[in-house]
């Protein structure tokens, strides 16, 4: 007999069926016992007059008759234990919300993630990722896979993990930045979904040592505004997919997300006009402003000062500011993007100005030496986006097995 | 004026249009010059009577009239160089096949990958990956992202890259094996597409230090045959997507791929009956046998000896052999899979037998202690699959930026 899922029970009234799942809860009344079985789609209630002693968490298979008296349940069950549990669970799984603290949950991730509320966050992440790919493929982007082990601690220099690569030093890639730019020369528009690694000693609710970066890069643009348009459309597709797959109601992504120049952003946030970057408090103020003035959960900040952006950033017509942007979602930066330099001589000059040698960048510069169109792109931090979307305070609540300053297992 | 692509030219006969791309070739005749412009979709021919001197590889934008006299071309062009090239290309890009050796191509990957033949291999990889996800989502699998940095050099022990993780040793994950098993407890069926890392000192045409693993794991199975059925269906979906997206003609995936038991496989391959594993020559012989006897490019080998499979492998009813399998494609192993142990006490026993301590596996064993259904899964090596599919001798021909014993850049 083929196993059916909990949501299919109601289609089989009066029939004998087989279900399987985890013992979610056992409730004993005077004359009957209710066994609640959890599978990937939800809960099934099994009713028996026999005394059953199956610890919570055990995996069972139940054959019984689908009976609908008020609610649909399984009666006259035959229960087979597929995998028993002989220790008490470290926390109760049948409450609407896990009462265990986040650290306890993370210590027992294999169990905690089975809680429907935790699992939903990961489902939303999967749906957002699927929506990202779908929206980009509709715009002719091609998926790429790039190296996570790199020769030089380039790009930002600091905060990289060093490893032993067949006896010589190498580093974990902080982003696929250089590779996705090179691949613009191949497919014009590319995207990658993959892990990036940051050895940041920041022990905060929004930093992870490994996170999932949703990267895109596109050629033949006029400037960063083409990139922002593609990103806005992509976000729209991501949220649509989240709602379609999970039923989770997402905020509206405006057809045109409000955009403020960096100098204006400082004024709105009440920051001194010589600030080179936005602090978290400034980002929150901008988020409130966008919601109040434009009814938008999103706001672009454009024209970040060149001196705070990486060397490959394309300047704006005003050379002090850049064609780089950030996207804030509910007052938190979740995307960084912009137009990049595309001419070989501009790279040589920019590296010189940054006091960087050419040699470690040789393979990267090759792409520009042999012709590259004007291009730009972005990177979305998946965990930050999902945390903001579901209202999680800590990115670890939406990450299956987080890696951070303290945590390297499970 | 909006840029159009080379394949759209024929829809705009008589109109003035704008194209953009790379100078693929310049051919000068007595009175006219032909400028061939390459974009992501193909080639456009621009005809001019003016003398033009634009080096190959340069990125240009051309506005002109679409004229169809025999072939569709652009006449009366205005040409603007977006990004010039002032060095000769290291190899000719306009031949049907790159004549440069593989090492030269890899040294100049940013350029070599622009060649249509090299680019097609990566498009096929992207299509196969998309087909993998699509086929699995249709079978209720949920996508996951798991850590690539792990605490212990578990699973196989050898051939791991060690890194410095905030001052303590850690390792790059050789596979998402443990994590995907744990996630069966959450979603019952999961998949992951991501990089895996092998510090194998093997300098061969089929080994990479980083490759893309297409992993899946599913719960509530009877045994490994359920896994093989799901895999066969998934491969079918992958090949269908490759053909739909790229036009590349793929071999038929039989509805039921022939399967031979390991002992029978040794006999077919003419190997001694006490061999514990299949050597490459045996795999080739089995590939020839499957094609000859079953007209199949694929063949499953089941029942590998337990002593050659990892500790989490589920034994067959005959305890010397396992419920583990390999899938050979054209005589090369491209997938390893099987049923896994699912009871906590079986893990404790298996680790004890393998002489392994329990402690490094604590977070992993948690999943089994708190109830796990019978389950199994597989891992497909994307680069091996694509190499076999397109007939590439070396996996590096189908990898954008390979990492191996020698190569760490670009």
> In whole numbers, what is the pLDDT of chain A averaged over residues?
96
CB contact under 8 A, A400 and B370: no
Structure tokens, B348: 């404790």
Binary contact (B84, A20; C-beta < 8 A): no
**Which residues on chain A are in Cβ contact (under 8 Å) with B408?**
149-151, 165, 168, 170
Distance from CA of A372 to the nearest CA of B (A): 6
Tell whether A165 lies on the interface with B, counting CB pairs under 8 A.
yes
Tell me the pLDDT tens digit for each residue of A61-88: 999 999 998 889 999 999 999 999 999 9
Q: Do A59 and B371 touch (CB under 8 A)?
A: yes
Of B114, B143, B374, the CB nearest to A126: B143
Measured between beta carbons, which residues in chain A are less than 8 angstroms from residue B110? 182, 185, 363-364, 366-367, 370
- Asked if pLDDT for residue A388 goes beyond 80, the answer is yes
Residue A152 is predicted with a pLDDT of 86
pLDDT value of position B101: 96
C-alpha triplet B159, B163, B169: angle, nearest 5°: 100
Please list, in sequence order, all residues whose beta carbon lies within 8 angstroms of the beta carbon of residue B359, skipping any fewer than 6 positions away.
none
Low-confidence residues of chain B, pLDDT below 50? none
Counting residues of chain B whose pLDDT is more than 70, the rounded percentage is: 99
Of B39, B111, B149, Cβ closest to residue A210:
B149
Question: Closest-CA residue in chain B for A80?
Answer: B373
Q: Is the pLDDT of residue A153 over 90?
A: no
Given A84, A187, A409, which is nearest B151 (Cβ)?
A409
Instruction: Give the up-direction half-sphere exposure of residue B263: CA atoms within 13 A in the CB hemisphere.
Output: 5
ipTM beyond 0.95? Answer: yes
Q: CB contact, 8 Å: A358 with chain B?
A: no
What's the confidence (pLDDT) of residue B247?
97
**Topology adopted by domain B116-398:** BirA Bifunctional Protein; domain 2 (3.30.930)
> DSSP 3-state assignment of A291?
helix
Q: Looking at the complex, does the CB of residue B88 fall below 8 Å from at least one CB of chain A? A: no
CA distance A151 to chain B (A): 6
Q: If you write DSSP's letter for every residue of B267-325 in order, what string do you get?
A: HHHT--TT-SS--HHHHHHHHHHHHHHH--SEEEEE--BGGGS-TTBPBPSSTTBBSEE
Give the one of B126, B150, B367 whose C-beta lies nearest to A143's C-beta: B126
A187 touches chain B (CB under 8 A): yes
pLDDT of residue A157: 57
What's the rounded Cα separation, in Å, for the pair B225 and B206? 28
Q: Mutual orientation of helices A344-353 and A362-369 as an angle, nearest 10°?
A: 140
Q: Hey, where are the domains in chain A? A: 6-88, 116-398
Measured over the CA atoms of residue B139, residue B145, residue B151 and residue B155, the dihedral's sign is positive
By C-alpha distance, the chain A residue nearest B369 is: A85
User: Which pLDDT band, with edges at 50, 70 and 90, does A154 fall under?
Assistant: low
Distance, CA of B374 to CA of B393 (rounded, Å): 38
Asked if A408 lies within 8 A of B363 by C-beta distance, the reply is no
State the first-to-last Cα distance of chain B, in angstroms, to the nearest integer. Answer: 37
The whole-number pLDDT of residue A42 equals: 95
Answer whether residue A156 shows pLDDT above 90: no
Between CA A9 and CA A63 the distance in angstroms is: 12
Per cent of chain A over pLDDT 70 is 99
- The rounded radius of gyration (Å) of the Cα atoms in chain A is 26
Quote the CA–CA distance of B274 and B13 in Å, as a whole number. 71
Using alpha carbons only, give the angle A394, A230, B127 rounded to the nearest 5 degrees: 90
Between CA A186 and CA A192 the distance in angstroms is 14
**pLDDT for the residue B168:** 95
Report pLDDT digits (tens) over A82-125. 999 999 999 999 999 999 999 999 999 999 999 999 999 999 99
Q: Which pTM was predicted?
A: 0.97
Whether residue A113 and residue B185 make contact (CB cut-off 8 A), yes or no, is yes
Q: Which residues of A touch B368 (CB under 8 A)?
A: 83
Q: Which CATH superfamily is domain B6-88 in?
A: Nucleic acid-binding proteins (2.40.50.140)
Whether the CA torsion A194, A199, A200, A202 is positive or negative: it is positive
HSE-up of residue A268 (Cα within 13 Å, Cβ side): 24
Chain B residues within 8 A of A149 when measuring between CB atoms: 161, 172, 197, 209-210, 403, 408
Decide if A144 and B126 are in contact by the 8 Å CB cutoff: yes
For B104, the 3-state DSSP assignment is helix
Instruction: Say if the Cβ atoms of A142 and B122 lie within 8 Å.
Output: yes
Q: pLDDT band at A51, cuts 50/70/90?
A: confident
Number of inter-chain CB pairs under 8 A, A vs B: 261
Give whole-number Cα distances, A189 to A233, A366, A374, B125, B280, in Å: 15, 19, 12, 16, 39
What are the chain A neighbours of B126 within 8 Å (beta carbons)? 142-144
The verdict on B245 touching A (C-beta cutoff 8 Å) is no
Q: List, in sequence order, every residue forming a beta bridge with B196; answer none if it has no partner.
A: B211
Residue A7 touches chain B, beta carbons under 8 Å: no
Residue B409 sits at φ, ψ, to 5 deg, of -160, 155
Beta carbons of B161 and A162 less than 8 Å apart: no
Does A186 contact B114 at a Cβ distance shorter than 8 Å? yes
DSSP string, A42-56: EEEEEEESS-----T
């Amino acid at each position: 007999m083929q196993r059916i899922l909990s949501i299919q029970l109601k289609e089989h009234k009066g029939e004998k069926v087989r279900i399987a799942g985890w013992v979610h809860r056992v409730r004993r009344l005077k004359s009957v016992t209710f066994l609640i079985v959890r599978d990937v789609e939800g809960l099934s209630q099994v009713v028996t007059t026999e005394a059953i002693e199956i610890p919570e968490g055990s995996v069972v298979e139940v054959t019984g008759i689908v009976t609908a008296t008020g609610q649909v349940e399984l009666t006259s069950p035959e229960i087979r234990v597929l995998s028993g549990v002989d220790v008490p669970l470290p926390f109760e799984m049948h409450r609407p919300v896990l009462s265990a603290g986040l650290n306890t949950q993370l210590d027992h991730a294999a169990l905690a993630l089975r809680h429907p509320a935790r699992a939903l966050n990961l489902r939303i992440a999967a749906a957002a990722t699927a929506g990202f790919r779908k929206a980009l493929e509709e715009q002719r982007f091609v998926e790429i896979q790039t190296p996570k082990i790199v020769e030089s601690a380039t790009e930002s220099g600091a905060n990289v993990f060093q490893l032993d690569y067949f006896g010589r030093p190498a580093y974990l890639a902080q982003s696929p930045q250089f590779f996705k730019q090179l691949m613009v020369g191949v497919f014009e528009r590319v995207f990658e979904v993959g892990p990036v690694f940051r050895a940041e000693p920041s022990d905060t609710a929004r930093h992870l040592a490994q996170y999932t970066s949703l990267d895109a890069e596109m050629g033949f643009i006029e400037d960063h505004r083409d990139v922002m348009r593609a990103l806005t459309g992509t976000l729209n597709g991501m949220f649509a997919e989240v709602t379609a797959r999970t039923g989770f109601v997402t905020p509206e992504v405006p057809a045109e997300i409000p955009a403020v120049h960096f100098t204006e952003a400082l004024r709105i946030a009440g920051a001194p006009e010589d600030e080179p970057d936005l602090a978290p408090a400034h980002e929150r103020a901008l988020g409130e402003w966008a919601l109040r003035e434009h009814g938008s959960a999103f706001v672009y900040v454009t024209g970040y000062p060149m001196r705070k952006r990486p060397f490959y950033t394309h300047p704006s017509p005003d050379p002090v500011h850049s064609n780089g942007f950030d996207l804030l979602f509910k007052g938190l930066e979740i995307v960084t993007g912009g137009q990049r330099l595309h001419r070989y001589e501009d790279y040589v000059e920019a590296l010189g100005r940054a006091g960087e040698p050419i040699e470690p960048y040789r393979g990267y510069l090759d792409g520009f030496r042999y012709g590259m169109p004007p291009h730009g792109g972005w990177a979305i931090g998946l965990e930050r986006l999902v945390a903001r979307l579901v209202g999680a305070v800590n990115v670890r609540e939406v990450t299956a097995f987080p890696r951070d300053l303290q945590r390297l297992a499970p």
